[in-house]
Amino acid sequence: MALAQQKPKLARKPKLAVWKFSSCDGCQLSLLDCEDALLTVAGAVEISNFPEASREVGKGPYDISLVEGSITTPHDAERVHDVRRQSKYLVTIGACATAGGIQALRNFASVKDFASRVYARPEVLSVLGKSTAISDHVAVDFELHGCPVSKHQLIEVLRAFLQDARPDIPSYSVCMECKRRGSVCVMVARGMACLGPVTHAGCGALCPSYHRGCFACFGPAETANTAALARHLAATGVAADDLLRAFRTYHAAAEPFRRESENHER
């Protein structure tokens, strides 16, 4: 395992911190899901702050901060600056931290829509009207895509930052992974709607291998031509409402998807 082989340059182990904002906890669970690699990680770094795993809270500054979740409260909008100040490298993990997550669906709702959904004591809630990515608030050193992130990519990112290297995380589309895997194209062969052509790689083209069109849980690829895909899907009979929802789910606030979904609003 590459992590174990790395020669420590520092007298002390690099300090790792894991932070949570608005999220489902799945991306930080990916770290615990690394299982065998978890102990290797624990050997290569000092896990200094990881409340989901440990009661012990180590003081900053931290060499690497992994940040999960989006900013949805005034308090969190402040707290993320503290995290940045204490972190040499700040890496966002997952769709929430990288693009605002599924909870960014609120960004498209009007106050009027919410007015009918009043719950018992709204005055005690303190939440922002929009769910935003970490990079909207502070500088981010690397953004790892995925809802959830791939644990293999998570380990690769840690390896790279520990070795002061650039993470080997391709930014091309799911189509590349599908071809490499040898999967038959579900759009061509089965006529299924698939967002693979505009979706960031990283899952290993999972859905097409399960006979399902990609639903873009890794967010937009670096050069996503959403308009061309939408035109193609519309020509095959996908309705405007369905296109709108397809682009407005797990990465609703990611710029290419936000713009494309708005093209299909009625």
Partner 1 sequence: MSANRTLSVPYLARVEGEGAMHVRIKDGRVENVEVRIFEPPRFFEAFLRGRMFLEAPDITARICGICPVAYQMSAVHALEAALGIQVDGPLRDLRRLLYCGEWIESHALHVYMLHAPDFLGYPSVVHMAADHPQLVNDALALKRTGNQIMTVVGGREIHPINVKVGGFYHTPTKAELDTLVAPLERALETAVATARFAATLTFPELTLHHELIALRHPDDYPMNEGRLVSDRGLDISAQQYQEHFAEEHAAHSNALHSHHKGTETYLVGPLARMALNRDRLTPLARRTADEIGLETPCRNPFRSNLVRAVELVLACEEALRLIRGYREPREAAVAVAARKGIGWAMTEAPRGMLYHRYCLDDHGLIEDANIVPPTSQNLRAMEADLRAFVTAHLHLDDAELTLRCEQAIRNYDPCISCATHFLKLDVARS
| Footprint on this chain of partner 1 (rule: CB under 8 A) | 20-30, 32-33, 35-36, 38-39, 42, 47, 50-57, 72-76, 101-103, 105-106, 109, 111, 113-114, 117-122, 124-130, 147-148, 203, 206-207, 209-212, 215, 217, 242, 245, 249-250
Smallest distance, partner 1 to C-beta of residue 2, A: 19
CB of 20 to partner 1, least distance (A): 6
Nearer to partner 1, 128 or 141 (CB): 128
Q: Which is nearer to partner 1, 187 or 207 (CB)?
A: 207
Tell me the pairing of strands 142-144 and 87-93: parallel
Amino acid at 44: A
CB of 73 to partner 1, least distance (A): 5
The residue among 170, 240, 227 whose CA lies nearest residue 198 is 227
For tokens 């990515």, name the residue. Answer: 133
Tokens of 234: 């519309």
Q: How far apart (Å, rounded) are the C-alpha atoms in residues 148 and 152?
A: 12
Question: How far from each other are the two terminal CA atoms of the chain, in whole angstroms?
Answer: 52
Residue 257: phi and psi, rounded to 5, are -75, -40
In the bound state with partner 1, the residue whose beta carbon lies nearer, of 209 and 225, is: 209
Q: Nearer to partner 1 by C-beta: 9 or 119?
A: 119
CA 198 remoteness from chain centre:
16
> Least distance (Å) from partner 1 to the CB of residue 88?
21
Q: Residue 179, SS3?
A: helix
From the CB of 148, what's the least distance to partner 1, in Å? 4
